[in-house]
Amino acid sequence: MLSLQEISDRMEIQILMNTYSNAIDAREFDRLDEVFTPDAYIDYRAMGGIFGHFPEIKAWLKSVLVNFPNYFHMVTNTELTFEGDTARAKTICFNPMEVPLPGGSTQVMFLGLWYVDQLVRTPKGWRLSRRVEQGCFQHHVPEHVQIPNA
């Protein structure tokens, strides 16, 4: 049986996962300060991005996501393992993205991935201290978009 603390922790982490997705999708990148520790390591290379620490990744997200007219991140099936004030998580993400094509039209590509995370309990609540994307599938990716094979 789950303790009240674990129920609370699980709910808070699920809210954190949703906050991440909603902040990215609304292009409200400063809200990511509520998601990551200031020194968090983030690795988006599996789906064509970069890796580094939170401040540089946040700046990169602001600069690169303007190139996609529409997109969303649907996150689900978070599996959690707790170790005191730290946790590990693996979460499914389905990420369709509208991509501009040469000539002015667009198409939607579909990306499937997992977020493999480490979290830490802070005075302000749970925060991601490490996020690594793990590719699963990609479909309908235009030739001019470079994504490693999932």
In a domain, 130, yes or no: yes
In a domain, 26, yes or no: yes
pTM for the model stands at 0.95
Number of structural domains (the chain) is: 1
> Which pLDDT belongs to residue 150?
61
In a domain, 113, yes or no: yes
Domain containing residue 123: 4-139
110, 136 Cβ separation under 8 angstroms: no
In a domain, 47, yes or no: yes
Q: Which two tokens stand for residue 127?
A: 């925060």
In a domain, 150, yes or no: no
pLDDT category at 95 given cuts 50, 70, 90 is very high
In a domain, 22, yes or no: yes
Residue range 28-73, pLDDT digits in tens: 999 999 999 999 999 999 999 999 999 999 999 999 999 999 999 9
Alpha carbons 119 and 112: distance in angstroms, whole number: 22
Is the pLDDT assigned to residue 105 strictly greater than 80?
yes
Q: Residue 124 sits in a domain of what CATH number? A: 3.10.450.50
What letter represents residue 18's amino acid? N
In a domain, 149, yes or no: no
